[in-house]
Structure 1
Amino acid sequence: MTTPQLYEELNYVNHSREKRLYYANLVLANPNLFTNLLDILFKTDDKISCKAAWVLEFTCKENLYLIIPHLDYFTKNMHKVHLDPAVRPVAKICEYLANAFYSKENNEVKHALTLTHREKIIELCFDYMISDQKVAAKAYSMHTLFLFGKDSDWIYPELKTILQRDFHHQSAAFKARAKRILKKLK
């Protein structure tokens, strides 16, 4: 399947878990489509990019290792994603990567996620935290930053400042996640 063919197929994706999973399984069965999916995701002004983001998130949830050969491309371009429905899945994929990197089990992500990749993810997550993003993107970002802060002495003070500053102006969901992170930072 070519990128234009996949693009046409993505027209049928909707918010339902069933449709997202159907197309994620299509990519899982045909890993060569992963690049095409990323290409569509990074057509950032196109509404179909959001549908590509949804499918990408479900694909990575099922098999995160498929993103490994594409980490350079993903981390180089993820900051371009700006439509709200696409931002949340990108933040979630960053959280998947951070969780795998700090997993107690040895895995491919630990070997493939370079310092440069991690720095770009950290930068994106801080951007999400200080910009006008929806709560889900911020929640995934604060957890990702918490994990990456284990190896970087400057992340925790910055994260703590942002969480404390924004705590009273955010939603209940943000406050709940921020409270857990702040408790871990003490």
Structure 2
Amino acid sequence: MISLEEHIQSINHSREQRNDFAHLILDNTELLPELLQICARVNEEISCRASWGLEFLCKKNLTAILPHLDQLVDLVPKVYKHPAVRPMAKIYEYLILAYYKAKKPEVRQHLTQTHREKITETCFDWMITDQKVAPQAYSMTSLYLLGTEFDWVHPELKITLENNYNSGSAAYKARSRMILKKLR
């Protein structure tokens, strides 16, 4: 049997392979801490591949990550390579949507106020640093919902979106307009 690391090295970005990988982890949830440790090797390319797999896992079964939220929210701010930042931002969006919109009880039970505050901080970091549009778009959605709980978020988000609007890509502007309309 090959190791988790060898398995990760062999996957590519195809949906089929990421899906197979997600099922491998779901069938062997004891591998999740090791997967997070590999994601934490942020200077190595394997971290990006592991992050793709983690995102697909969360898309398939978000509750699998819930016992590991402390490790996840400590890890994510350290991630800096775009191929790893994008899936981490998407995982945050999944968590926030499940917490605020779907109001999933298991997510509401595990995603503490401290977790939500750390997610808020990281999402704002992605909004004000040089990131591609996907993490920023996912962050906009997350921050909008977080702002329904934390009073200071909506005014800061509005300022950030207005300040960055003119220099943003077409996709950034489209998501920005949608969020700004909700904020008005």
Q: TM-score, normalised by structure 2?
A: 0.97
Tell whether 2:140 aligns with 1:142. Answer: yes
Work out the CA distance in 1 between the residues paired with 2:17 and 2:9. Answer: 11
Structure 2 unmatched ranges of 5 or more: none
List, as ranges, runs of 4+ consecutive aligned residues in structure 1 with deviation greater than 4 Å.
none
Question: How far apart are residue 104 of structure 1 and its match?
Answer: 4.2
Calculate the aligned-residue CA RMSD, in Å: 1.2
Identify the match of residue 119 of structure 1 among 117, 120, 130: 117
Instruction: Identify the match of residue 101 of structure 1 among 89, 99, 121.
Output: 99
User: Does the residue aligned with 1:37 lie in a helix, a strand or coil?
Assistant: helix
Change over 3 Å in CA distance of 1:105–1:82 after alignment to 2: closer
Unpaired segments of 5 or more residues in structure 1?
A: none
Alignment of 1:47-58 (within 5 A): 47-58=45-56
**SS of structure 1 residue aligned to 2:101:** coil
Equivalent residue for 2:60? 62
1:36-77 per-position Cα deviation (integer Å, ceiling 9, x unaligned): 110100000010000000000000001000111100111112
Per the alignment, residue 167 of structure 1 pairs with 165
Distance in 1 separating the partners of 2:72 and 2:11: 22
Given the alignment, which residue of 15, 18, 33 partners 1:17?
A: 15
Q: Once the two structures are superposed, what CA deviation does each residue of 1:143-171 show, in whole Å capped at 9, x if it has no partner?
A: 00000000111000100001001111011
Aligned residues: 184
CA positional deviation for 1:103 = 2.8
| Aligned AA (2:50) | A
Once residues 133 and 105 of structure 1 are traced to their aligned partners in structure 2, the CA distance between those partners, rounded to angstroms, is 29
Q: 2:44 aligns with which of 35, 43, 46?
A: 46
**How far apart, in 2, do the equivalents of 1:77 and 1:120 lie?**
11
Written as runs of structure 1 = structure 2, the 5 A alignment for 1:62-81 is 62-81=60-79
CA drift of 1:13 comes to: 1.2
What is the alpha-carbon distance in structure 1 between the residues aligned to residue 148 and residue 14 of structure 2? 36
Partner Cα distance (1:35, 1:61) in 2: 18
